Structure formats: C-alpha cells, structure tokens
Amino acid sequence: MMKIGIIGCGMIAEFGHIPAIQQVSGLQVYALYDNDFSRAVHLQHRFHVPHAYPTEEDFFTSDIDAVVICTPAPIHYKNVMDAAKHRKHVLCEKPLGMDEEEMLEMKRVMEEAGCMLFTGFNYRFSQSAKDIHRLVREKAIGEVRLLRLVYNWHLHGKWHWNEKGERVDSALRVGRMLEGGPMVDCGVHQIDLARWWLGSEVAWQHGIGVWLDNYEAPDHVYLHMAHECGAHTMVEVSFSYNTTSKEPRPHFQYELIGTDGVIRYNREEHSFEVRNSHGTQYLPWHPEKSFTGMYMELLKALQNGTPGELPTAEDGIKATRIAKAATDQAIRERDKPSKGCPSTKSRAEIGRLYPDEVPMDFYD
C-alpha cells in the first residue's frame, strides 16, 4: 500500500483528490497537513484518515511515500522544497509555480533528491480527453489543423455575502486574479491538452486580454498558439462570464477541426461527437476531469519509479510558461496594443490609436 500525504486541505483536496485516492486500491490517504489545523482535522474526520498533523515536520517525517500539494499556487515552491528535503515524490496542483525561476528550481531540486515531480493535469485522464487523443492518432478527422478550446465561467461569482449580509468581493476570485488570472489558473489545462493531443510543441504564441474587471491581469484572455506540426490552437478562458448573473451558465468546449471533419465536445450539453466524410459518430460523454484516472497512474508511477502517463514537471513548466507569457503580453499591450487588436479601450482612445485602420462605425 502506497501512503499518500496531502498538504493543503481546502476545496480541491476535499472534492477532488481525497475521494479519488480512496477509490484506488493500492493507495491510502495516510496523513494530512494544513496551516489551518482545523481544516486538516475536518477532513481527517470526514474521510477517516489515520493522521492529521499540526506541524509540517510531523507531516513530512510520517511514514508517507508521496506528497500531494493542494495549497494555493504561491505556496507550491515551499512545499516542493520541503518534500525534496524529506525525499518524497510529489504530485503538485497547477499552476506548478509562480514564475520560471521558481519552477526550474523545483524541478532541479527534486531531481537532485532522486524524487519524481508531477503536475496535476487531471484533464488528461478524462475518458473523453483520452478518446480525443486516440481519435487524433487514428486520423478520424484527417490532419488536425485547428483546436478551439474554450472555458468561460464565473469562478463562483464576483461577490459573496458575509455573516452580516454585506456584499464583499469573493476572496477566491481576488486570490486567483492576483495569482495570474484565468489563463494561468485554468488555461494551463487547455494548453497542456493541446500539446498532448497534437504531440507537438508550441512554436509561436500571442495573448490578448479583455478587462471587465480592475485587476492587473485580464479576466478574459485569448491565446493563439502555432504548433511545430503546423496546427493552431485558440484557447479562450474567462473568469468574468456571467460572474454577476443570478443564474450563471458556464461554457466549456473543445473543437478539433481537421482536413476531414470535426471533433466536438461540450460539457454543458454533455455532447461528444465526430463528424467526418463517413458520417457522424456520437461518443459516450465523460466529465472533463478525472482525478481517479490520474491516481491510477500515480500508483503505477510509484510502483515502477517512472512517470508513465503522468504529466511531468516539464509539462507543468511548459504550460505555465505559455500561460504567463500570454497574460504578460496582454498586460503590456493593454496600453500599447498591436495594430489590429485593440484591447478594452474607449471609442475615443481606439480612434486615437488607430486613426487610419479603424472605421468610424467600428463600435456602433
């Protein structure tokens, strides 16, 4: 039995990781740590976990084989450094780190400790994502030329109401926007899928932001990637889609467009289909995430001492690098946009920036 320790006992540990680990025979959730000890104790009782520790030292020196990091992104670096010191393998939630320097050091230190470091890109393990991977290789839609990967959602709303009934900014939203915004927080999954489905690295990219809100990072981002194989990917991610709506409805879609047809997956419609010159095939629909599938692979990796199918630190670094570069470019070009891609600007500003190119009725 492989003993797993979880550091960070918040939302994703409770609803994603722990229930999934407990479904994989051969893995055991053995120890919990959170700097808010009450969270660790809460999950210990809820899931009947043998140990919840009040200190990191107790946690890391317990009898665990591997650590799963479910803390907020700015804490990942410290957690990985501690795990390396105690020679524990790590599966770390995305985004792997806050910047390039941090992530490269995490990878290097883990390698020097002789430990494996994985990135928790659980989308790869959804049966639908695996089917797409297979269909691309079988050339079900000919040569894939274009991916359109969209995840527009409300991030559980812009506001919350406190105990006094007052409307306050959602702490979750503030945190995620300060950590880099939607492309860094969520878009890394889509970037990872594009690289994995196509089996091709990104040769060129361009990020454009739209601001519905007042953070430095854009809360709605477009990323265009050109892959070495010649295919293109467009990722669109938003935290501001219906964010003030009483009845929000997110939009999550994959479309792969090839020389002989289209693969289309829609989460809200529960639809998954391939249309090509032979006809239409309706495939069984599965949710976009699979923590259980990821943990079945973690068990194999721990038993064999090799990554197998698990996304590595390298995968985490590449996706985060692309997402950050897109976000940084969007921020830079907000005030000085490239010709042809005006950002969230008033009509007067647009006219001033593009006196020749922008027609008078551009925003009518």
Interface with ligand NAD by CB under 6 A: which residues? 7-13, 34-36, 39, 70-73, 75, 93-94, 120, 122, 185, 289
Q: Which residues pair with 51 in a beta bridge?
A: 31
Candidates 325, 364, 359, 358; CA nearest to 342 is 358
From the CB of 357, what's the least distance to ligand NAD, in Å? Answer: 39
Q: Which is nearer to ligand NAD, 72 or 142 (CB)?
A: 72
Contacts of 213 (CB under 8 A, 6+ apart): 158, 177, 219, 239, 240
**Helical (H) or strand (E) element with 65:** none
From the CB of 204, what's the least distance to ligand NAD, in Å? Answer: 27
Q: Write the DSSP symbol of residue 73.
A: H
For residues 95 and 126, what is the distance between their CA atoms, to the nearest angstrom?
A: 19
Candidates 147, 196, 181, 198; CA nearest to 318 is 196
Q: Which is nearer to ligand NAD, 122 or 233 (CB)?
A: 122
Q: Which is nearer to ligand NAD, 231 or 322 (CB)?
A: 322
Q: Which residues pair with 237 in a beta bridge?
A: 151, 221
**Is residue 7 within 8 Å of residue 62, measured between CB atoms?**
no
Q: Which is nearer to ligand NAD, 32 or 116 (CB)?
A: 32
Residue with the CB atom nearest ligand NAD in the bound state: 10
From the CB of 70, what's the least distance to ligand NAD, in Å? Answer: 5
From the CB of 311, what's the least distance to ligand NAD, in Å? Answer: 11
CB atoms within 10 A of CB 347: 13
Q: Which is nearer to ligand NAD, 39 or 220 (CB)?
A: 39
From the CB of 339, what's the least distance to ligand NAD, in Å? Answer: 35
